């Protein structure tokens, strides 16, 4: 489904400020896998998502998605295959547009479009039904500006928007980190539901070891731009926080940014 071969990314390449962020990453991801990605600050987690989405190019290596070499493809072209939700609930939608306008833009992601999202009654009906399933009352607020919503409501909408167009890959970059625990729990439940419903192949960056161990069917640990641990299948199912701590204490897990909870 996704194949990364010998991916190298260096920021400020060729300058005294050169900073390697990914150093020879090789990764094969099967369709339908749900991978949690952990690692200390600066390990390269966001860069990994950015090279898959095309937001950052690589200095070396190649990226294949569904047997197509997408390495030279722009982010816009990859948007037909890849969608994303960010940590900041404000990042994935446009505050000055209404809920229905944001949904219409998301619905047409990856298609050529004019300046105005095309909205019609059929789409409105579909949006209302989708939003009703969230049970947040948003189906009655289609013409409200999205900037009026709470962080949790907005993140729920970002997830819905990410799954409206027929992308195959969902990239989640600490998408529950800015939310209170109850809202984070709701958003994780919604994530699992949408991933299953749309058969998405998912990578989720998290700083929570508990979340990384509990969610998904594969766990990657990055350290200094390399994958240093990759657990799938029964190894992932049986993995505990204590296993991770005993394997990596004093090395990749000394960082306070990795939370036990």
Ligand X SMILES: Nc1ncnc2c1ncn2[C@@H]1O[C@H](COP(=O)(O)OP(=O)(O)OP(=O)(O)O)[C@@H](O)[C@H]1O
Question: For binding to ligand X (CB under 6 A), which residues are involved?
Answer: 11-12, 19, 21, 39, 41-47, 257
Q: Is 60 helix (H, G, I), strand (E, B) or coil?
A: strand
Q: Which has the closest alpha carbon to 220: 46, 4, 39? A: 39
β-bridge partners, 83:
170
Q: How far is the CB of 146 from ligand X (least distance, A)?
A: 25
Nearer to ligand X, 11 or 72 (CB): 11
Nearer to ligand X, 146 or 209 (CB): 209
Residue 256 to residue 91: CA distance in whole angstroms: 26
Nearer to ligand X, 138 or 220 (CB): 220
Nearer to ligand X, 46 or 211 (CB): 46
Q: How far is the CB of 21 from ligand X (least distance, A)?
A: 3
Q: Which has the closest alpha carbon to 171: 23, 63, 243? A: 63
Q: How far is the CB of 198 from ligand X (least distance, A)?
A: 25
Q: How far is the CB of 137 from ligand X (least distance, A)?
A: 33
Starting at the earlier edge strand, list the strands of the sheet with 34-39.
82-85, 169-173, 201-205, 34-39, 218-223, 226-232
């Amino acid at each position: 489904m996704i194949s990364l071969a010998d991916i190298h990314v260096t920021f400020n390449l060729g300058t005294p400020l050169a900073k390697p962020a990914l150093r020879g990453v090789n990764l094969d991801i099967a369709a339908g896998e749900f991978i949690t990605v952990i690692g200390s600050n600066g390990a390269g987690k966001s860069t990994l998502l950015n090279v898959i989405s095309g937001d950052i190019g690589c200095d070396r290596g190649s990226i294949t998605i569904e047997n197509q070499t997408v390495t030279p493809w722009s982010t816009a072209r990859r948007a037909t295959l890849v969608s994303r939700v960010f940590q900041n609930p404000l990042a994935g939608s446009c505050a000055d547009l209404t809920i229905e306008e944001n949904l219409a833009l998301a619905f047409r992601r990856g298609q050529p479009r004019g300046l105005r999202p095309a909205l019609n009654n059929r789409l409105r009906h579909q949006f209302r039904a989708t939003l009703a399933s969230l049970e947040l009352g948003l189906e009655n607020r289609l013409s409200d500006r999205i900037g009026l919503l709470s962080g949790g409501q907005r993140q729920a909408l970002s997830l819905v928007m990410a799954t409206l167009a027929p992308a195959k890959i969902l990239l989640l970059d600490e998408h529950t980190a800015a939310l209170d625990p109850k809202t984070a729990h709701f958003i994780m439940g919604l994530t699992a539901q949408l991933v299953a419903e749309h058969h998405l192949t998912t990578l989720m960056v998290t700083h929570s070891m508990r979340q990384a161990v509990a969610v998904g069917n594969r766990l990657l640990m990055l350290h200094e731009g390399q994958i240093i641990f990759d657990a799938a299948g029964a190894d992932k199912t049986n993995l505990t926080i204590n296993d991770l701590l005993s394997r990596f204490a004093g090395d990749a897990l000394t960082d306070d940014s990795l939370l036990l909870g």
